[in-house]
Structure 1
Amino acid sequence: GHLTVDGSPFMAAKVILATGSRPHLPSIPGINTIDTLDSTTALDLTELPASMLVVGAGYIGVELAQMFARAGVAVTLVSRRGVLPEAEPEVSEALEGYLSEENIALVRVQSYDSIKADPKGVCLHVTTATGQEQLVSERLVVATGRVPNSDSLNIAAAGVSANHRGGIWVDAQMRTSNPDVWAAGDVTGR
């Protein structure tokens, strides 16, 4: 196989793909107009905001919400599927109780309608079971998962298969559908 970088081909008999992943940015109208944080940039803050919305209540969103709440930030955790949706329902329910005890507000939404800048920071328009709401905070953290960095690799030309999110399919030995190509790490979507 070969790889072309800036017009220069590199030849190899065997290839390992380990291009990592990037934060998933949900399709919320207006999200590209505001300064969002992700699981990496949130940890780079040099000053704590007074308030924070955390969109996504998987394990990363929950960890960030809890960390910032314990540091004194007023945190609202926003999710369509509840806390730790991949966990057993009993675990999710118990964790919701613990988060409430730590003064983390949980808002379960049916849809994220739009987001825009606000004098206080950001305003997230959502629809809940009881109607439309506006959630305002100084900062917004997006913790809705990660996307494998495979979209610019042209893997189909190499006979490498991927799932609908771009995660490269691998077997137990990390070999792809091409017997001369392996993939490791976040690019597999695992």
Structure 2
Amino acid sequence: YIGELLHRLPDFVKRFNLPAEKIKIYCIEAAPKVLPMFDPKLVDYAVNYLKNQGVEFYTETPITEVKKGAVISKDKAFNANTVIWTTGVKGSHVINDSGYTQKRNRVAVQNDLSSSDDPNEFIIGDVSAVPSPDGRFYPTTGQISVAQATLAASNIIAKLNNQKTSPFTYHSLGTVCSLGPTNGVAELSFMGHWKLKGHK
């Protein structure tokens, strides 16, 4: 998001007659680092690229309050008239309203993606919490949802044929982080493992 915002900023300044000298962009992150899914060298490249364009990074800085004109982290205030909140994906309230046992509107499913309450129900996508081998839940991404859909369809067919269902296994094809329309970092896992950075 930050890379795209930086790219569009000159156009916004011109179109809306904004005071460019007063615009500051902060990236406030509760975790110890940003982009934890990437190789550290790729993270350094991305962060330095954005810092060189004026972005200020604050890690280990959990947001405790957002109020008019400021974002608060414990005893530190970041004055802001515009706040862009990008904290991830939350499942639909329909899950909670339907009576499923859930956490943040996500249902913890069995390893074959079936519901704990009914083995004939399969729950996939952002509303499902799928356990990974390390005991945590897989993140809610489009790539994982597509893999879930393929397995769920296969397991439904297995159920109809009185066959055993298969467990969900996931092999990432890679992750890409855009730093604007002409720059970015990527880790790709097909025909080898590729770590890429730089301009298109």
- TM-score, length basis structure 2: 0.44
In our comparison, the structure showing a higher alpha carbon Rg is: 2
Q: Answer 1 or 2: which has greater helix percent.
A: 2
- TM-score, length basis structure 1: 0.46
